[in-house]
Amino acid sequence: MYQEARIVVCESLLGDLTFRIFERMGCGALVLTERIGNGLTALFTPGIHLEGGSRGLTFAGRRVSDTLVPTQEPLEDIAAAWRGARMPVVLTGAGLSTASGIPDFRSPGGRWSSYRPVTIAEFLASEDARAAYWRYKGETWQVICRAEPNAAHRALAALARADRIALLVTQNVDGLHERSGVPRDRLITIHGTDAEVECLSCGRREPRAVAQAAWESGTAVPRCDCGGPWKPATISFGQALVPGDLQRAFAAARAADLLVVAGSSLAVGPINEMVPLAHRAGARIAILTASETPYDGLATWKVSARVEVVLPAVRARVLAAPAR
Ligand SMILES: [Zn+2]
């Protein structure tokens, strides 16, 4: 029985079809099966401890690899790094809420796959655009309201409350981190939140329910007392991020010694730049995301298993031992 890993191997060793590798947990066979660019798909016997990151992979005392991306779950190593981290920072994305039943609303074949996002300029300019926006937001909020935080949210909330997360930055607008109990002073909702509305005339913010009730009772575009249109307090296309939030997220990435990415494909900028910023500053990086990401090559650990399984397992290991 073999497991699969993707590794990057020195050019001079590409001719070898079989390595024997020796690591601290024993030895076993590593069979290279396919070359993809300078990466290889490899099969290795279970129980081999593959070390990723700057230490690379060694074979018979020779360094054979500069980077290693194991698809097995190096949870013990991630937990050990987390326990020892002075400044652990977390970045989450849509994959974290999948297990709560919140789909990627614009994914292919989904109900809203043909929905064309309304830009902030269109929202401000046209009542038709505002009504179209509210149709989308009104219906998706009903899905979000029925959802509950899942085991991944609860694991991160427990780590944050135990002072094991310095800052949690989320791309999600569903409010599930808030509902799971992450302390608000450690949470940045970088793309805003659907749980509140803001008036685009007077700037007032209110809980979503205020405007949602009006929409559900037939008002196409709910309005503030001042007459301005309510807009769910998410960052729309064409709308700038909150500068202070972005600065705080980037500063945390530069100061982090561990950056954990959970459930994000890291496709959306500028917040995905947290990863190269942290990497350049010397942080170790764990990417816990099912899909490939543009930054997998910077990851010390890449775990493709489901986050609602991985994060509780990591939390149990981090909180089982005394911190630091
Ligand atoms: Zn107003």
- With 0-12 / 13-18 / 19 or more C-beta atoms within 10 angstroms meaning exposed / middle / buried, residue 195 is buried
Task: For residue 175, give the nearest of 213, 140, 202 by alpha carbon.
Answer: 140
Gyration radius of the chain's alpha carbons: 22
Instruction: Specify whether the CB–CB gap between 71 and 5 falls below 8 A.
Output: yes
* Cis check: omega of the bond before 149, within 30 degrees of 0: no
Residue extents of the structural domains in the chain: 3-70, 73-102+148-191+241-324
- For the domain 73-102+148-191+241-324, what is the CATH superfamily, name and number? TPP-binding domain (3.40.50.1220)
- State how far the Cα of 109 lies from the Cα of 121, in Å rounded to an integer: 28
- Active-site residue flag, 177: no
CA of 129 to the centre of ligand 1 (A): 19
Mean pLDDT by 10 residues, the chain (324 residues): 44 38 35 44 45 41 44 75 97 94 70 80 96 94 94 97 98 96 97 95 95 97 97 93 96 98 94 97 94 92 86 91 55
pLDDT value at residue 105:
66
* CA gap 13, 158 in Å, rounded: 45
HEC assignment per residue over 198-255: EECCCCCEEEHHHHHHHHHCCCCCCECCCCCEEEEEECCCCCCCCHHHHHHHHHHHHH
Task: Write out the E strands in the chain.
Answer: 3-9, 18-23, 26-36, 39-44, 57-59, 62-70, 88-92, 167-170, 187-189, 192-199, 205-207, 230-234, 258-262, 284-288, 301-303
User: Which of 153, 177, 191, 279 is the catalytic position?
Assistant: 191
- Please tell me the distance between residue 169's alpha carbon and the centre of ligand 1 in angstroms: 29
What is the spatial distance between Cα 238 and Cα 21, in angstroms, rounded to a whole number? Answer: 51
SS3 189: strand
pTM assigned to the model: 0.77
Burial of 247 (C-beta count, 10 Å sphere; 0-12/13-18/19+): exposed
Predicted local confidence at residue 132, as pLDDT: 94
Interatomic CA distance for residues 58 and 61, integer angstroms: 6
In angstroms, what is the span from residue 225 Cα to ligand 1's centroid?
Answer: 6
**Cα 203 to ligand 1 centroid, rounded to whole Å:** 6
Q: How far is the CA of 290 from the centre of ligand 1 (A)?
A: 42
User: Could you tell me the distance, in angstroms and rounded to a whole number, from the CA of residue 198 to the centre of ligand 1?
Assistant: 8
